[in-house]
Amino acid sequence: MPLHFQRFQTRLLVLLLLPLLCVLLAVYLAVERANTRSALTLIERDLAIGIANFSATLDERNESLAIAGDALSGDFAFRQAWNTDQLTLLSAMDNLLGRLVSADFIAMVDADNGLLRADSRRSDLSNVEPEWRVLIDDAEALDRAGEYPEAADALILDGRPYHLTVLPLFTPDLGGWVTLGFELGPEFTALFKESVSADISVLFRSADDRWQIGGSTLPETLLPQLAEGFVPQTDDSLLSLAGEDYITLSQPLSGSGDVQVVLQRSLTAELAPARALRRQLLAIFAAGILVLVAALLLVSRKVTQPLQWLTAGARRISGGDYSARVDLAQRDEVGQLATAFNSMASGLAEKERVRELLGKVVSPAIANELLQRPPELGGEEREVTVLFTDVRGFTTLCEGREPQQVLALLNEYFSVLTSVIEQHGGVVDKYIGDAVMALFGAPVLCEDAAERAVRAALAMQVALEDLNARLAERGLLPLVTGVGINSDRVVVGNMGSQSRNNYTAIGDGVNLASRLEGLSKRYGVAVVVSDSTRRQAPDYLYLPLDLVRVKGKQQPVEIFEPLLPIGAATPALLASVEAFRHFLDLWRQGHWPAAAEALEHYAGLAGAEPRLDNNLTALYRQR
């Protein structure tokens, strides 16, 4: 038997500690296996339920599209539009989409020649064979068999996955095929995730035979790994994404298998409660050690007495007395511990002397600055007005110029716009290339944020005219900008990382302001504001432009051009604005002859007004 095992303390530790460790290890392994099995069973059940719910959701959507498509055969106005020109048919289809909340597009195929007559995705698509010809063939086969001709499947259109439903159009005979479809994209997966306890992704096979992501509720950082490592299979499988294990279950959505729905649950997250149980086991282990120590104190006073001396010395050290020492004549482990204790006390005393010396030569203010905690990340929801402005045709303007010349021109342009924004109480949030994003109402609250933003936008046009005059003297082309303004509740605050952050705003209202800036070029105006901004800044005269559906929003948005303060408007300008309002009312009600006459009346009035542009008249003439 080794010499060190003959010591009483060693045998006592082995006798009491080893059985305790064995019991704790056995309990830990049993609980770990049970937790893993439970987590796997729960995830597999939830994924199976999720796949069933997904199929039911597609069936429900397909039924709703079928009901809406069947209603077309009884719609007298739509049947009339079927027998007219393509533009009228497209208008009727757009009107129908406004009532079909579950469809993203509608297309019409002639039953006689099998060619596409109109497609709401693109007005120039006509007289070509549709990409979903195979669905029409299936429907025709059902019609020949005496069954109701309806077909549905998932296909890839324009590089995106769609779920399509093909239905007949009876006028009263079979005159055409109605195709209704909705994209299996981010909006669809986000909506479906609300009803399942898993992440959902829609993958489709691209032309180069690679899997692409149609939509997913997984973090964006995981999507490239998912697309690269995905293998279609109907049984549960384990997939590692960013070092985290996910239980994965997939099911084909199309007959070809090129479109797949994938449900995933993080096994790592599911096992999180097991980690808490693991900590409890460690606490039990610590308690067992304490019991063991108590037993040692009862069994051998020879062991406990030196420990008490060491404890008393430790208390003195914790109280700041680093002169404490424990002198033992023993040469065993306890004696070695006393020697180590004395060495530790000497080391702490030396460190305390160093700290006192540094305290005499280092300024307390510097120390306090070093101890300050960094600013915490976070934000708050607030009503603000967001302004976006961008230079039109800036790429063309930069052609043939040196980078330093372009940078100098941008700096001069930004200096002018920033000065105007700040003069009206706005804050430049960021410069994005040749664009500027500004906030009114954050970080400093103000009740008239929308009015300040509109006033600043009009002042920017005046300042830009002065800048262009200076540029013309230097032989440079003038700068033309577009401005978009929207007022909404958004999240503002410090955002970024722990090492670097900045104050900014995010939310749907910010995105809408950016979209409105892009619409200014389409309508040939300098400034476009939303209806919410118009209502919050009522002291200005606004020209109504249109009712548009911008990207990312389901509901249409009414847009306006601010002209000038109402008090400064002439009777002729007021009459011109009222004439265009009257035209829009007739236009939206579908009174086409009267609307055309009202438009020409407005054009006659607007020709004499320098603040009104004929681009808007030309746009509606073209429509």
- Render pLDDT for 249-290 as a digit per residue (tens, 0 to 9): 888 887 788 888 888 888 777 777 767 777 777 777 777 777
- 102 contacts 182 by C-beta, under 8 angstroms: yes
What is the SS3 assignment for 26?
helix
463 pLDDT more than 80: yes
Check residue 532 and give its pLDDT. 93
Check residue 209 and give its pLDDT. 85
Check residue 362 and give its pLDDT. 32
**Per mean pLDDT, which range of 198-207, 449-458, 614-623 is the poorest?**
614-623
Average pLDDT over residues 136-151: 86
Check residue 535 and give its pLDDT. 94
Residue 456 DSSP class: H
563 and 482, same domain (yes or no): yes
Those residues with Cβ within 8 angstroms of residue 275's Cβ, 6 or more apart along the chain or in another chain: none
401 and 364, same domain (yes or no): no
Kindly report the average pLDDT of the chain as a whole number.
79
21 occurs within a structural domain: no
CA distance 269 to 363: 47
347 occurs within a structural domain: yes
Average pLDDT over residues 328-348: 72
Strands 540-548 and 237-241: unpaired
b vs e for 5-43, b when ≥16 Cβ sit within 10 Å of the residue's Cβ?
A: eeeebeebeeebeeeeeeeeeeebeeeeeebeeebbeeb
What is the SS3 assignment for 583?
helix
546 pLDDT more than 80: yes
- 284 contacts 24 by C-beta, under 8 angstroms: yes
320 pLDDT more than 60: yes
16 occurs within a structural domain: no
205 and 314, same domain (yes or no): no
Confidence grade of residue 8 (pLDDT, cut at 50, 70, 90): low
Last residue of a domain, one of 520, 551, 569: 569
Check residue 21 and give its pLDDT. 74
Q: Give the residue numbers spanning the domain of 549.
A: 388-569
615 occurs within a structural domain: no
- 560 contacts 545 by C-beta, under 8 angstroms: yes
In 3D space, the residue among 51, 507, 439, 71 whose CA is nearest the CA of residue 265 turns out to be 51
464 and 323, same domain (yes or no): no
What is the Cα Rg of the chain in Å?
37
The pLDDT tens digits of the residues spanning 589-617 come to: 888 888 888 888 888 887 777 777 667 88
380 pLDDT more than 50: yes
94 and 211, same domain (yes or no): yes
Last residue of a domain, one of 281, 314, 343: 281
185 and 315, same domain (yes or no): no
Residue 112 DSSP class: T
Check residue 371 and give its pLDDT. 37
Check residue 375 and give its pLDDT. 41
Check residue 159 and give its pLDDT. 86
- 155 contacts 132 by C-beta, under 8 angstroms: yes
Instruction: Kindly report the CATH number assigned to the domain that includes residue 489.
Output: 3.30.70.1230
b vs e for 285-324, b when ≥16 Cβ sit within 10 Å of the residue's Cβ?
A: beebeeebeeebeeeeeebbebeebbeebeeebeeeebeb
25 occurs within a structural domain: no
597 occurs within a structural domain: no
Confidence grade of residue 5 (pLDDT, cut at 50, 70, 90): low
67 pLDDT more than 60: yes
274 and 324, same domain (yes or no): no
């309806």: which residue's tokens? 150
131 and 258, same domain (yes or no): yes
39 and 159, same domain (yes or no): yes
Distance of CA 416 to the CA centre of its chain: 33
Confidence grade of residue 293 (pLDDT, cut at 50, 70, 90): low
352 occurs within a structural domain: yes
359 and 416, same domain (yes or no): no
241 and 337, same domain (yes or no): no
Instruction: Kindly report the CATH number assigned to the domain that includes residue 262.
Output: 3.30.450.20
Q: List residues bridging with 374 in a β-sheet.
A: none
616 occurs within a structural domain: no
Strands 244-252 and 540-548: unpaired
Strands 199-205 and 211-216: antiparallel
364 and 403, same domain (yes or no): no
The pLDDT tens digits of the residues spanning 37-59 come to: 776 777 777 777 777 777 777 77
Domain count, the chain: 3
CA distance 483 to 521: 9
